[in-house]
Each structure stands twice: as C-alpha cells, then as structure tokens.
Amino acid sequence: MANILIIEDEISIAELEKDYLELAGFQVTMVNDGQKGLLEAMAGDYQLIILDLMLPGLDGFEICRQVREEKDIPILMVSAKKEDIDKIRGLGLGADDYMTKPFSPSELVARVKAHLARYERLVKNHDKVNEVIEIRGMKIDKTARRVYVNEEEKILTTKEFDLLSFLAGHPDRVFTKDELFREIWDMESFGDIATVTVHIKKIREKIEEDAAKPQYIETIWGKGYRFKV
C-alpha cells in the first residue's frame, strides 16, 4: 500500500482528496502548511505527493524544487489558476503532473494510480540493472562488488576491487602507477606508488591462473599497467 502526502491549505479540498484516495486503498497524510509540508515530505516515507501551489509558509514552487533535489517520487501539483500550471511547466521544477482546481476526485485517483505504477516500474528496473563488466571468463559486478573467474567467486579487498574494476572499466589503456595511485587512493593514504605494485600482485594471485603469466592485467615495462582486451 502506497503512502501519499497531501500538502494543501484548503481543508475541505484536502479532506475530499483524502477520502477518495483512502477509498482506493492508499494511506494518506495531510499537512496544511508549506513549511511543515516540506519537512514532512523530506522526512516521511511517501511514494507520491499531491502539492498545492499557494500555501502559507512556503509555496508549492519552492517545496517542489527542494523535494526534487532529494527524491524522485512523483509530484502532482494542483492550483486554482490555469496560468499557474503554465508557470509550473515553464519553470521546469520537475513536477510529474498538474491539475487545475476544481478537478474530479476520481480523475485525481486515476492519475495517482498511473504515476505510482510508472514509478514502481522505474524503481524495479533501476534495482534490476547491475553494472557488470564481463571479459574472457571474468565477471566484475560493480553494483554487488563481486568478482568471478570462470563462475568461481574471488574475494578481493576494497582497494583491490576498486583497482581491478577501474582497470577493467578502461581496457586497453596504459595507466602509470602514479595515475592509479591518485585514482584509487586519492589523498587518503600514507602509502606511495609501491602500494599499487603490491595490490596488482595480490589481484593477480587471486584472479590469474598463473600470476607469472597474467591474462588480465599486463605490466607495460617502464610505463605501468594495462587491462587486456
């Protein structure tokens, strides 16, 4: 069951919306003031917001803008004035839909359902896609942070994983130890570029069949390392 937040200062309208949405099976919270509405929108676990434009405290433009910076849930904006709807569109605040008052409550419920269904699909698809690099029997799942060689999982430390996935993500390019050190360790380490050499050695021991004859990370003498394509 989805949680819906209504930010609306006209109590009779807010209650009408609430009644219809609850009948449709949604959990509804009402807030009648802009400032409180923004706080509730940010802190609460809502899947959709119905946002009035003209509100005491803080207007709907500002609430929409601030919520959008943090959350990608659908925002349905309502206003008494047709001109305001054009203004909302023009500002590109990231609202998903607009309705002019008065609107039929069943139309509102239909739109809420449509937006929630679309949002759910987006979230699901987003969850499903792991960023994976696959190359000659090795699979690096960057989302799950797991490495497999010929289906067998290899356990790498955080930095080993970062280094391997960086190199594999930029195949056929030579990186110097300096570049790799800056890329993976940044300024957080007291180590030096020898750290890179040590980590490459460890990675090879874990992923290569024969660490002396590496098939994945090549040493380019006098230059650095390159991930073989």
Q: Applying CB under 5 A, which residues contact Ca ion?
A: 9, 52, 54
Nearest distance in Å: CB 2, Ca ion: 24
Give the nearer residue to Ca ion in terms of CB position, either 101 or 226: 101
- How far apart, in whole angstroms, are the C-alpha atoms of residue 183 and residue 67? 33
Nearer CB in complex with Ca ion: 9/141:
9
Shortest CB 16 distance to Ca ion, Å? 14
Kindly state the smallest distance separating residue 109's Cβ from Ca ion, in Å.
20
Distances (CA, A) of 102 to 43, 98, 129: 29, 12, 41
Q: Residue 117 CB, nearest distance to Ca ion (Å)?
A: 28
Peptide bond connecting 214 to the previous residue in cis, omega within 30 degrees of 0: no
Nearer to Ca ion among residue 57 and residue 137 (C-beta):
57
Q: Whole-number minimum distance, CB 55 to Ca ion, in Å?
A: 5
**C-beta closer to Ca ion: residue 7 or 200:** 7
Nearer to Ca ion, 33 or 97 (CB): 33
CA 207, 135, 139, 223 dihedral sign is positive
**Residue number closest to Ca ion, CB atom:** 54
| Phi/psi of residue 175, nearest 5 degrees | -115, 135
9 in helix, strand or coil?
Answer: coil
Residue in the structure block whose two tokens are 């139309």: 107
Q: How many CA atoms lie within 13 A of 125 on its CB side?
A: 6
**Which of 41, 42, 55, 45 is CA-nearest to residue 3?**
45
